[in-house]
A = this chain, B = another copy of it.
Amino acid sequence: MSAATELARTDGSHEITARLARFFDERTVQAAAYGSAFERLWRLAGEAATGGKLVRPLLLLDVYDALASPRPGSGIADRETALDVAAAVELLHFSFLLHDDVIDQDTVRRGRPNLIGALMDQARESGSASDALAGTVHWARTGAILMGDLLLAACHREIARADVPRTRRVELLDLLDRTVSESVAGELIDVGLSHGLVPPRLATVLGMTTHKTATYTFELPLRAGAILAGADGATQDVLGAVGRHLGLGFQLQDDLLSTFGDPARHGKGRYSDLREGKQTALVAMARTTTSWPGIEPRLGRPGLTDRDAEWLAGELEACGARTAVEGLVRRELTAAVDLVDDPANGLTGSLRAVLHELTRTLRGRSA
């Protein structure tokens, strides 16, 4: 990455953080008109939403900067608009996280209380819930469902108001529409897999993984950056395909790290995937091996001891599932790079540099 891109990236991070802070501050002030409970919901949401790595908005900006800078002109959104849309993408991310946490009944994220946990703490401290724990939990989940709705609406509003020509706005709205649909479909299949309502075929698990995470984490920012920079449909499509490969690789890495990585670095509970019995590609691979009858009865047991979990992780390695998923990760990252470098795809040098840098970062991931 050139020094200039590096600089733009740093600036972008400040500017997106400032936009998000302003958004939550303004909404918190407006919310006061509807009572202190609504004001507190917005304040706690703002606190829970800050401190993220801004992966998605920064990716959008990198692509925008790479494509727009050398040829500014008509049909290209200005950088302020790109920053607005980048911040909106982070709101979408936060909306998805909230509904994900409601569905998974999680109260912690990255080692601190998520919005549900914060709302429970606050209701407990106020000590006024008439029906103690059940009321506190219900109140907190309600808050997270409703804040997810508010942020989903806000994301749409920001993108719908973007100051770009009509054709570009329609492209952005269609992209957002497909993104929300696919992410929701992925989440639904994930829950269906966890209850045995969807058969756990490897292809289904990989599709779920792509839709639930890759689409909105990689494809959305890459495509949106290209649209804002005025890129043609062919370039958008190449970036979409690159995003799906990188996103699937990224999520498969997450699954590997959760089972074999250092929990102090990846921020999830040690072996939490194994205790939840999450239907990952690792598990789908193991299912096709002779080790499966030993693995199955332990997987998804909430009271699984660390020793048993360690044994399970060992089995997932010994049966070849780890190696197979590591192979899938390499395959996805290589497929992305091949698309980036294919001269037929005609990506510019600066865009290719951004995408190579991104792939390098993913290859070296340990957290």
Chain A residues numbered 42-101 whose CB sits less than 8 Å from any CB in chain B:
95, 99
Chain A residues numbered 21-54 whose CB sits less than 8 Å from any CB in chain B:
30-31, 34-35, 37-38, 41
Within 8 Å CB of A282, what residues of B?
A: none
Question: Does A365 have its Cβ within 8 Å of any Cβ on chain B?
Answer: no
Copies of this chain present? 2
Cα–Cα distance between A83 and B142 once the two chains are bound (Å): 33
Within 8 Å CB of A126, what residues of B?
A: 197
Q: Interface stretch among A11-19, A131-139, A338-346, A351-359? A: A131-139
Within 8 Å CB of A143, what residues of B?
A: 188
Within 8 Å CB of A35, what residues of B?
A: 185, 189, 198, 204, 207
Q: Interface stretch among A154-162, A232-240, A245-253, A306-314? A: A154-162
For A135-176 the 0/1 string (1 means CB < 8 A from B) is 110110111011011101110110111000000011001001
Q: Which listed residue, B130, B135, B188, B196, touches A38 by the CB 8 Å rule? A: B188
21 contacts between A and B (CB under 8 A): A30-B181, A31-B181, A34-B182, A35-B198, A37-B192, A38-B188, A102-B145, A103-B145, A123-B195, A123-B197, A129-B197, A138-B195, A146-B184, A149-B180, A152-B152, A152-B153, A153-B156, A153-B177, A153-B180, A154-B177, A156-B156
Question: Does A211 have its Cβ within 8 Å of any Cβ on chain B?
Answer: yes
Within 8 Å CB of A188, what residues of B?
A: 37-38, 41, 142-143, 146
Could you tell me if A142 and B38 are in contact, using CB atoms closer than 8 angstroms? no
Question: Does A319 have its Cβ within 8 Å of any Cβ on chain B?
Answer: no
Cα–Cα distance between A123 and B198 once the two chains are bound (Å): 11
A40 to chain B, nearest CB (A): 10
Closest to A147 in B: B184
Closest to A99 in B: B145
A121 to chain B, nearest CB (A): 13
Within 8 Å CB of A131, what residues of B?
A: 195-196
Q: Which listed residue, B34, B148, B150, B186, touches A207 by the CB 8 Å rule? A: B34
A interface residues (Cβ-Cβ under 8 A, vs B): 30-31, 34-35, 37-38, 41, 95, 99, 102-103, 123, 126, 128-131, 135-136, 138-139, 141-143, 145-146, 148-150, 152-154, 156-157, 159-161, 169-170, 173, 176-177, 180-182, 184-189, 191-192, 195-198, 204, 207, 211
Name which of A129, A157, A173 has the most chain B CB atoms within 10 A of its CB. Answer: A157
A43 to chain B, nearest CB (A): 13
A114 to chain B, nearest CB (A): 16
A161 to chain B, nearest CB (A): 6
A198 to chain B, nearest CB (A): 6
Q: Which listed residue, B95, B139, B146, B185, touches A34 by the CB 8 Å rule? A: B185
Extra contacts, 4 of them, besides A130-B196, A146-B184, A153-B177 (Cβ < 8 A), are: A34-B207, A41-B188, A129-B195, A149-B149
